[in-house]
Structure 1
Amino acid sequence: MNGLGSIVKEEKACKGVGRGGSSGSKFRISLGLPVGAVINCADNTGAKNLYVIAVAGIRGRLNRLPAAAIGDMLVATVKKGKPELRKKVMPAVVIRQRKAIRRKDGTVIYFEDNAGVIVNNKGEMKGSAITGPVAKECADLWPRIASNAGSVA
């Protein structure tokens, strides 16, 4: 045998490329937020929504839009909100998505909106409070976000 028949596919944890300030490993989650999506800003920075420009750690494939899932860091701009936040490119982390995700224990969960919070490059939040629940997958990856979360779902 030439060794090709013995290859076994396994679901492996991603190493977290470009995820400064995160801890733990991220398993594959359904990607629900492609580039161009507008998501709610769930912190108290003064931003109302975030426009997704790029997703950190995505290398890409021809004609496929890069997409983010819960716990991913993305590059975003503020479309509505305080004038000092608008027209600037800043990192953000996805904390909720409407696309259903399947957890390791078999449960399926989805949220009523797509939401993210503005962070710095180290993963520290710009705001000090989060409105609404934060997904457990995101809270495990980002301890600074988990500490500001009102509830973890």
Structure 2
Amino acid sequence: MIGLKSTLNVIDNSGALLVECVNVLKNKVNNGWGGVGDEIVCVVKRARPISPGAQAVSNVLKVRRGDVRRAVIVRCRKPVRRPDGRVVRFDDNAAVLLNNKREMLGTRLGGVVSADLRMKGWGKIVSLAPKVSPSRHHSRNPVRSEPF
């Protein structure tokens, strides 16, 4: 659960490393607490330094310290119970930064994201992720449709 003043790691290549949540958007269910797939407003607390020679290619580093941006939560430390009985929990809280059109600022992701993002309309993030946690509808013992 992500709320006011929660810190999250940024897993895209937008230039931000650490953000702090200042608001959870459009979440009437959990009274201002956000989970995986929820959109938040955050402040960049730590960003990659911009070297003087890299000013010409500054498209790589799109954010600076103190910028206010939107982000979507992709990992959460709070355990989530799935309908099949499994409990999914991540080691840290993580987010991906967005622009005003709700598109990703970065072009690459580094790290695992939750499969619940696909069901909340963030399929683009899931498709760019190098690894996705097990899906909600994934079963351990698939039923074979044809006999041996």
Q: Do both share a fold (TM > 0.5)?
A: yes
Unaligned runs of 5+ in 2: 50-62, 134-148
- Structure 1 residues 122 and 102, CA gap change in structure 2 (3 angstroms): farther
Alignment coverage as a number of residue pairs: 119
User: Which of 14, 25, 30 is the matching residue for 1:45?
Assistant: 14
Unaligned runs of 5+ in 1: 1-31
Q: Does 1:119 align with 2:88?
A: no
Once the two structures are superposed, residues 29-57 of structure 1 have per-residue CA deviations (whole angstroms, 9 ceiling, x without a partner) of: xxx11111011011111111110000001
Report the 3-state secondary structure (helix = DSSP H, G, I; strand = E; otherwise coil) of the residue aligned with 2:73.
strand
User: Which of 98, 111, 114 is the matching residue for 1:132?
Assistant: 111
TM-score, structure 2 as length reference: 0.73
Q: Does 1:67 align with 2:33?
A: yes
Take 1:71 and 1:137, find their aligned partners in 2: how far apart are those partners? 7
TM-score, structure 1 as length reference: 0.71
Displacement of 1:71: 0.5
Displacement of 1:59: 5.3
Q: Is the 8 A contact 2:76 2:90 kept in 1?
A: yes
- Which range moves more in the overlay, 67-76 or 99-108? 99-108
Take 2:74 and 2:29, find their aligned partners in 1: how far apart are those partners? 23
Q: Is the 8 A contact 1:100 1:108 kept in 2?
A: yes
Partner of 1:145: 125
Q: Return the letter of the residue paired with 1:152.
A: V
Among all aligned residue pairs of Structure 1 and Structure 2, give the percentage whose two residues are the same amino acid: 35
Displacement of 1:123: 2.8
What value does the CA root-mean-square deviation take over the aligned residues? 2.0
1:53-92 equivalences under 5 Å are 53-58=22-27, 66-82=32-48, 84-92=63-71
Decide which structure has the larger Cα Rg and report it.
2
Q: Does 1:97 align with 2:63?
A: no
Q: Return the letter of the residue paired with 1:126.
A: L
